[in-house]
Copies of this chain bind each other. A is one copy, B any other.
Amino acid sequence: MNTVQLTKLDKTVSGWMHDMQTHVMKRLTQKMTIETKSNHRDLVTNVDRETEQFYVEAIRTFDPQAKILGEEGLGDRVTDMDGHVWFVDPIDGTMNFVKQHAEFASMLAYYEDGQPVMAWIMDVANNQIVHGGPEYGVFLDEQRLEKPNLESLADGLIVLSGARLLYEQYGFPEIAKAALGYRVYGSAGISYLRLLTGRAVGYISYMKPWDFAAGVLLSQALGLTNGTIDGSTLNVLQSGVVLTANEKAFDDIIQIQQK
């Protein structure tokens, strides 16, 4: 894509997200239907579903070739990265959405023949969006972001998934102990936003494709390093423990893993 096409893509999708933002914040003042999915902590609301439906319809109109992988299953069954592939996480951090009415995100990512093109992560309650890609640059609203925070793990904050830490999986306690400090926010999108804006040196969590597709795309575009915790190749269609960090903190964490 050339710059004109990328700009058009960004403006179009950012427009959808701002429309979604107005709608979702209004929905927070109304009664919601809350259901559970795989377990009692895995929440979904009518707002998650209607937001995904809104995105799916917008994408299909804009890009008739789209293959859409959405959290709530209203898109397609995507088995390969050929062609135009869109990742949709309508409301990320649904527990924060329901309980806090804040610190939840909405995320979209677009890949073309397996190549990352552009992604969008919105902090919905704060109406802030990080958007961009490898050719386009990465922006917080209108402000261009630079490669963030090159501190080591020992000198920086790590953001991680609370459940993995609590149940002592994947070496999370050792990673947290080696860091200057750790934070638990309960939303992948919000965690990626902290990392992308230089407020943390890394983020690590067990995630599904829609949780990390936008975050790894934007992180890579900013010069951060992405990988899985066991050193296997990151596959954007496959769930796993995904680590995103600056190269120094990334190495620090991999070394802890290999002990």
Contacts and interface: CB of A to CB of B under 8 A. Distances in A.
B157 A100 contact: yes
A60 interface: no
A200 B156 CA distance: 26
Given A180-B41, A181-B95, A182-B166, A199 B157 contact: no
Interface string A174-190: 00110011111110000
Size category of the A interface is 20 to 34
Q: How many copies of this chain? A: 2
Interface in A56-112: 95-96, 99-102
B102 A180 contact: no
Contacts of A184: 162, 182-184
Contacts of A156: 99
B41 A100 contact: no
A86 B48 CA distance: 47
Contacts of A49: none
Contacts of A41: 180-181
Given A173-B166, A186-B181, A157 B95 contact: yes
Interface in A19-55: 40-41
A99 B152 CA distance: 12
A102 B193 CA distance: 13
B157 A176 contact: no
Nearest to A201: B99
A162 B183 contact: yes
Cβ-closest 8 pairs across A and B: A100-B199, A184-B184, A99-B157, A95-B181, A183-B184, A166-B176, A162-B182, A183-B186
6 contacts: A41-B181, A99-B180, A157-B186, A162-B181, A162-B182, A183-B186
Interface of A: 40-41, 95-96, 99-102, 156-157, 162, 165-166, 173, 176-177, 180-186, 194, 199-200
Given A40-B180, A41-B180, A162-B183, 5 more contacts: A157-B186, A166-B173, A166-B177, A166-B182, A184-B184
